[in-house]
Structure 1
Amino acid sequence: MSNPDFGVLDVRYRNHEAVALPGGGELYYEDSGDGTGPALTFVNNFYIVSPIWRNFTQELAEDFRLVTYDLRNQGASSPGSGPVTFRDHVEDLRRLLDHLGIDRTYLVGTSISTLIAREFALAHPERVAGLVLIGPAFSPNGTLRRILLSRHWLATLENGGTTRLFDLLYPLVFPDQLVHSGGKAAYLALRDNFLALLSKSSIAENLRASLEVEDDPEQLGRLTAPTLIINGDGDFAWSESVVEDALARIPDSRAVTLPRAGHVPFFDDPEGFQRATARFVRECERPALAA
């Protein structure tokens, strides 16, 4: 396992491609990698932007088509008219795939964006070849814990701004090993990126929108796409027994736990994350190739 140098993360926006949204907004996206391979569509959580994925997907780009984008009120995207709802994020994903001519894709969600991936897969099962759920924010047992956490994060943001929210999230999201080995340098580098790329208003709007969504355990049984759950062994949200609960509820599911990794294990172990994702996609594609 090798961590990237957080002081030199590539967060540059490299193009000006965008999808028009109802009400005048735009959805920024990047379409890269091997255009002949299966498409992997990466859905941001509320705390990262599209270019971040470039730092953790170099190996995947050799074999797969990679699509990343900013949520409608995030980064280089614009919000459109009216307040953002969670349903907007789900339908924006459909608009993006329609625009790119992608009939079926593997969805890669992380933390809170696993809710977007889950809801899209339930609404449009024919368009999802597989789900990669990284450090899921939802629970296979119900909504209450996520709602309590989100309300706490929202209150911290509203009372202390993005700096206070980062200070709350940093020791939760990253594992013990990285926090101590990275020291002050890693903390400052990640904080600077967080503050520069994300706004208080967009995070708050997205957190409020996520409160609209219920985590009905019975709905997980309706997922028809093969599902891979990737967790770090230092994830604050899911214990081993919660992973077992999820595997019992989600049909055709499997899990990978990355050692010495936290809630966003692609940060802590990019190689392990990419190996697990590539292996899953190839296993899913094998029956189709043999047909």
Structure 2
Amino acid sequence: MADTDITNLDIRYLSHAALQLPGGGELYYEDRGEGPVITLLNNFYIVSPVWRNFTDQLENRFRLVSYDLRNQGASSPGTDPVTFKDHVEDVRRLLDHLGIEKTYLVGTSISTLIARDFANTYPESVAGLVLVGLAFSPNGSLRRKLMTRSWLASLEAGSTKQLFDLLYPLVFCDQMVNSGGSAAYLALRDNFLALLSNTSIRENLLASLDVDDDPEDLARLQPPTLIINGDGEFVWSASMVEEALALIPDATAVTLKRAGHVPFFDDPAGFQKAITEFVRRLEAVQALPAAAQHI
């Protein structure tokens, strides 16, 4: 059962921290807590303040960095069209700005692709990789791109409300939708419409069509990797998890019961427990003498 009231999410912008980007854009970011660094990557439909509702236990143990994507929420894109590579490089820019040499990287939904590509481009900067409700496949890109094109068509035909109505019963699990009823639907819809524009969603979806779900990119991952899915996940099956685990050199998986595509909404405690155990295990290994790490 979820321990966060999703009808009353805290979505306030509490700081005015911003990183200036090439081309005139900027990134809004939040930096809180102390300890090993965990960087949280938004998907295209949530903004940085949303993470505060699902990371209170993590904040007590770790330093958490989150930010709005460059054309999302309180961030701005600059003058040029946003590319998927921009999102990957923005992670690098933000870590450099904050003086962070190494981070645990958490991606959710489409930002699992940002996390994957960042880890493959800058493996020395990633202590561990957490992929939550993956949007991409270990078998190739076709299905994701077909879904993305259908979401773009919905957006063009009926604006952000029609897109939300399409996504809501897919993203959230049966238990959440039925127990939350109209109150949860309306609260999440109102937040969605207030925080996200047709233009920013469209541009991000179009950018995502330019990146591929190449299985070899999973095989190239060097950092230890944790996959977290809900058992009500609409994109991945159990067999896809098995295929990904066979491809990634050092990977484990956790499935959260009664949870969907964004399992931190359904089970914040289970989500945080899985990440805490993953980070603590890796930190313990790093604390060992170099010779003992390979035994």
Give me the TM-score of the superposition, normalised by structure 1.
0.98
Measured in 1, the distance between the counterparts of 2:193 and 2:272 equals 27
Q: Deviations over 1:128-167 (max 9, x none)?
A: 1111100000101100010000010011011110000000
Q: Select the residue among 244, 247, 262 that pairs with 1:246.
A: 244
Kept in 1, the 8 Å contact 2:43–2:110? The answer is yes
Q: Deviations over 1:8-58 (max 9, x none)?
A: 100000011011100111100000012xx1100000000000000000000
Instruction: Give the aligned partner of residue 108 of structure 1.
Output: 106
- The alpha carbon displacement at 1:3 in A equals 3.7
Aligned equivalent of 1:33: 33
Please tell me the residue identity of whatever aligns with 1:54: R
What is the SS of the residue equivalent to 2:106? strand
Counterpart position of 1:122: 120
1:59 partner SS: helix
For residue 17 of structure 2, what is the aligned residue in structure 1? 17
State the TM-score, normalizing by the size of structure 2: 0.97
Structure 2 unmatched ranges of 5 or more:
290-295
Describe the SS at the equivalent of 2:232: coil
What is the rounded CA distance, in whole Å, between the counterparts of 2:246 and 2:139 in structure 1?
11
The equivalent of 1:165 in structure 2 is 163
Task: Supply the AA of the counterpart residue of 1:89.
Answer: H
Give the distance between the partners of 1:163 and 1:93, measured in 2 at CA: 30
Distance 1:198 1:111 in 2: 16
User: 65, 73, 76: which one pairs with 2:74?
Assistant: 76
Q: Deviations for 1:205-248, whole angstroms, at most 9, x for unmatched residues?
A: 00000000011101211100000000000000001000000000
Alignment of 1:133-148 (within 5 A): 133-148=131-146
Please give the alpha-carbon distance, in whole angstroms, between the structure 1 residues aligned to 2:10 and 2:227.
26
Amino acid at match of 2:141: T
Partner-residue secondary structure (3-state), 2:56: coil
Q: State the alpha-carbon separation in 1 of the partners of residues 2 and 20 from structure 2.
A: 39
Shift of 1:278: 0.3
Q: Identify the residue that residue 52 of structure 2 maps to in structure 1.
A: 54
Aligned length: 289
- Gaps of at least 5 residues in structure 1 are none
Q: CA deviation at 1:2?
A: 2.6
Once the 2 structures are TM-superposed, how far is the Cα of residue 4 of structure 1 from its aligned partner?
1.5
